């Protein structure tokens, strides 16, 4: 599934067989492949059908790419991707703020979608990024302990939570708004009970809440794992509420998230944020670009498109660039990648499923101890050696082994792994997948190094990764490429701000490996000690 589209479209062996022109005839198979990918990603079948038609128009219509040097495959991928990104945008959609009085944000959605958690995340975002003073209103009087859940989150955030027993939700919300005015809060976030769109009574209740509080933002919270039903429920919520935006949750998993496309198609409203974990900080800005790659099950489509784009923009320069980059896959790159793959856990499995990758990875032992030993060997090398492994003759190898307290055989094994990895990179490039590692990712990778290959990172951190800073930072790009390649992490890539230089410090970055860590307690009250204990306990998770 993962490699479906990629394998079909990519390279000279793909559907378009190196043809230079897109035609009515050769586009059919490509469109069928895209439709299949969309359906597998849970895009609603009608939305998928419409989408495919739009791609056809774009690819063959007036706006088609005229440049004959761009292959049919690249033209096609470009059309698919642009269409998807445009449909999914805009990315810079913002919450609306009231010109006077408190801003009201109504959160609605199905049961278990993530509303309460998202309320807390949003509150934190508003406090830290925009200096707001939100009030949370607990208006879910259905689910047992729902009020308590929000109160616990409110305490973690040091924010007030309004609730009064015995009130119907519309009245409760209206009082909440008054409370906000009275206490000088500038945002009110209404956490409502989960409801199915077929539940008329509860849908009416939602309308009543909206009528009384006149929310500036009416946000639908949707689970990224939602299937075809996303269309039906979003339609109903939109009809009842006139939504202003959507938050997509649980994107830290491996759901392809086709619901995002369905939602956009049905409501026309922007996706405001992406939920990428259970912690209060796990809220990302939405990226249409990453979402597009994720839905197509080919994060690398971004890379492919970039390659296509680059060919259009830069022509020959791109090829030169690729060659140069391939020459700079160094031992440091390998180390950083091993760490990254190790940290992502299931990623090895996922990568292993891709044609050609399984074998390449087999030779790469990725357990902790092994990586420690590689690290030791690397520190024993000079920077120059790390960047140009060809220099490593016998005498250098002996010196390195001694320095690391290991045998020459270990150095040889390291070099063998290195060659295996390099081979793998080549293979990826051949498959067209390399584009994920190429294009932007590689440009970013290069940005971490000066043209002479000297390290230029500004990482003051101690330890090996501090020293490897430049390369590691560069690989951030590559890491993102890989992340989006397998559809892991936030919105298809790794979460924004993911910094592989953290990997050396053992920080569990990345959606898939991240431990559940508590919110930092910043409360001075007497509960502080208690919370600290809790924090300790939770760390054990």
Partner 1 sequence: MGLFDRLKQRLGKTRSAIGDGLSALFRGGRPMDEQLLDELEEMLYGSDLGPLATDLVDDLKRRFKRGELKTEDDLRATLRERLVGELGEAGEITLTAKPHVVLVVGVNGSGKTTTIAKLARRFREQGHSVLIGACDTFRAAAADQLEVWAERTGAAIVRKTEGADPAAVAFDTVDRAARENFDVVLVDTAGRLHTQTNLMAELEKIRRVIAKRLDGAPHSVLLVLDGTNGQNAIAQAKLFTASVEVTGLAVTKLDGTARGGAVFAIRREIGLPVQYIGTGERAELLEAFEPGAFADAILSSAGSSETAR
Ligand X SMILES: Nc1nc2c(ncn2[C@@H]2O[C@H](COP(=O)(O)OP(=O)(O)OP(=O)(O)O)[C@@H](O)[C@H]2O)c(=O)[nH]1
Ligand Y SMILES: Nc1nc2c(ncn2[C@@H]2O[C@H](COP(=O)(O)OP(=O)(O)O)[C@@H](O)[C@H]2O)c(=O)[nH]1
Query: What is the C-alpha to C-alpha distance for residues 95 and 476, in angstroms, rounded to an integer?
Result: 30
- Distance in Å, CB of 282 to ligand Y, minimum: 6
158 is written with which tokens?
């040091």
Alpha helices in 380-407 (DSSP H): 383-387, 394-404
Q: Quick one: which of 319, 346, 295 has its CA closest to 435?
A: 319
The contact mask relative to Mg ion for 143-162 (x = CB under 5 A, - = no) is: ---x----------------
Is 202 flagged in the annotation as binding? no
User: Binding to partner 1 by residue 366, rule CB under 8 A?
Assistant: no
Contacts of 70 (CB under 8 A, 6+ apart): 20, 78, 308, 311, 312
Q: Which is nearer to ligand Y, 118 or 309 (CB)?
A: 118
- Among 46, 384, 522, 528, contact with partner 1 (rule: CB under 8 A): 46
Residue holding tokens 């910094």?
Answer: 499
- Among 71, 73, 75, 116, contact with Mg ion (rule: CB under 5 A): 116
The contact mask relative to ligand X for 151-190 (x = CB under 6 A, - = no) is: ----------------------------------------
How many residues are there in the chain?
541
- Distance in Å, CB of 114 to ligand X, minimum: 9
Number of Cα atoms under 13 Å in the Cβ half of residue 515:
12
List of residues contacting ligand Y (CB under 6 A): 109, 111-117, 194, 249-250, 252, 275-278, 282
Query: What is the C-alpha to C-alpha distance for residues 14 and 10, in angstroms, rounded to an integer?
Result: 5
Q: Which is nearer to ligand Y, 109 or 448 (CB)?
A: 109
Q: Which is nearer to ligand Y, 132 or 279 (CB)?
A: 279
Q: DSSP 3-state assignment of 189?
A: strand
Work out what residue 461 binds among partner 1, ligand X, ligand Y, none; the CB cut-off runs from 5 to 8 Å by kind. Answer: none
Is 111 flagged in the annotation as binding? yes
Q: Which is nearer to Mg ion, 14 or 114 (CB)?
A: 114
CB 522 within 8 A of CB 158: yes
Residue 19 burial (CB < 10 Å; 0-12/13-18/19+)? middle
Q: Which is nearer to ligand X, 112 or 462 (CB)?
A: 112
Is 477 flagged in the annotation as binding? no
Work out what residue 245 binds among partner 1, Mg ion, ligand X, none; the CB cut-off runs from 5 to 8 Å by kind. Answer: none
Query: What is the C-alpha to C-alpha distance for residues 251 and 133, in angstroms, rounded to an integer?
Result: 27
- Distance in Å, CB of 352 to Mg ion, minimum: 33
Longest dimension (CA), the chain: 82
Query: What is the C-alpha to C-alpha distance for residues 363 and 351, in angstroms, rounded to an integer?
Result: 14
- Distance in Å, CB of 246 to ligand Y, minimum: 13
Alpha-carbon dihedral angle through residues 167, 170, 172, 173, given to the nearest 10 degrees: 170
User: Binding to ligand X by residue 145, rule CB under 6 A?
Assistant: no
Q: Which residues bind ligand X (CB under 6 A)?
A: 111-112, 143, 194, 196
Q: Which residues bind Mg ion (CB under 5 A)?
A: 115-116, 140, 146
Q: Please state the residue numbers annotated as binding site for GTP.
A: 109-116, 191-195, 249-252
């Amino acid at each position: 599934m993962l490699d479906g589209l990629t394998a079909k479209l990519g390279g000279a062996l793909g559907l378009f067989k190196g043809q230079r022109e897109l035609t009515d005839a050769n586009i059919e198979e490509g469109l069928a492949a895209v439709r299949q990918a969309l359906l597998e990603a849970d895009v609603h079948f009608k939305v998928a059908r419409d989408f495919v038609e739009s791609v056809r128009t774009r690819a063959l219509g007036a706006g088609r790419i005229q440049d004959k040097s761009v292959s049919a495959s690249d033209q096609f991928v470009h059309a698919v991707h642009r269409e998807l990104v445009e449909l999914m945008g805009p990315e810079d959609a913002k919450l609306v703020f009231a010109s006077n009085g408190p801003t009201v944000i109504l959160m609605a959605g199905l049961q278990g979608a993530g509303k309460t958690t998202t309320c807390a995340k949003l509150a934190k975002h508003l406090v830290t990024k925009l200096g707001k003073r939100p009030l949370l209103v607990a208006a879910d009087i259905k689910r047992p302990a729902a009020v308590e859940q929000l109160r616990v989150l409110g305490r973690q955030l040091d924010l007030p939570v309004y609730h009064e027993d015995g009130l119907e939700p519309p009245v409760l919300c209206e009082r909440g708004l008054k409370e906000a005015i009275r206490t000088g809060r500038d945002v009110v976030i209404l956490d409502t009970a989960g409801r199915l769109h077929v539940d008329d009574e509860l849908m009416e209740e939602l309308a009543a809440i909206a009528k009384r509080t006149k929310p500036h933002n009416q946000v639908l919270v949707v689970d990224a794992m939602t299937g075809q039903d996303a269309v039906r429920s979003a339609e109903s919520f939109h009809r009842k509420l006139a939504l202003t935006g959507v938050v997509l949750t649980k994107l830290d998993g491996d759901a392809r998230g086709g619901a995002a496309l369905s939602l956009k198609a049905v409501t026309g409203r922007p996706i405001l944020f992406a939920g990428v974990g259970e912690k209060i900080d796990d809220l990302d800005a939405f990226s249409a670009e990453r979402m597009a790659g994720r839905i197509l099950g080919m994060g690398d489509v971004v890379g492919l498109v970039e390659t296509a784009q680059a060919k259009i923009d830069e022509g020959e320069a791109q090829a030169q660039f690729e060659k140069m980059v391939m020459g700079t896959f160094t031992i440091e790159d390998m180390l950083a990648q091993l760490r990254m793959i190790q940290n992502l856990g299931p990623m090895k499995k996922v990568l292993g499923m891709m044609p050609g990758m399984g074998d390449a990875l087999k030779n790469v032992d990725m357990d902790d101890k092994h990586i420690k030993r590689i690290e030791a060997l690397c520190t024993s090398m000079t920077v120059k050696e790390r960047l140009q492994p060809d220099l490593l003759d016998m005498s250098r190898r002996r010196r390195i082994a001694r320095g690391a307290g290991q045998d020459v055989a270990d150095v040889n094994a390291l070099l063998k792994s290195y060659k295996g990895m390099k081979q793998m990179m080549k293979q990826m490039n051949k498959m067209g997948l390399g584009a994920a590692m190429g294009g932007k990712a590689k440009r970013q990778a290069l940005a971490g190094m000066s043209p002479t290959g000297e390290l230029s990172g500004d990482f003051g951190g101690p330890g090996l990764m501090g020293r490897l800073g430049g390369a590691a930072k560069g690989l951030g790009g590559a890491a993102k490429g890989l992340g989006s390649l397998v559809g892991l992490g936030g919105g298809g890539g790794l979460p924004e701000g993911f910094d592989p230089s953290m990997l050396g410090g053992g920080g569990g970055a990345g959606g898939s490996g991240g431990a559940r860590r508590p919110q930092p307690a910043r409360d001075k009250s007497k509960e502080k000690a208690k919370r600290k204990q809790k924090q300790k306990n939770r760390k054990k998770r």
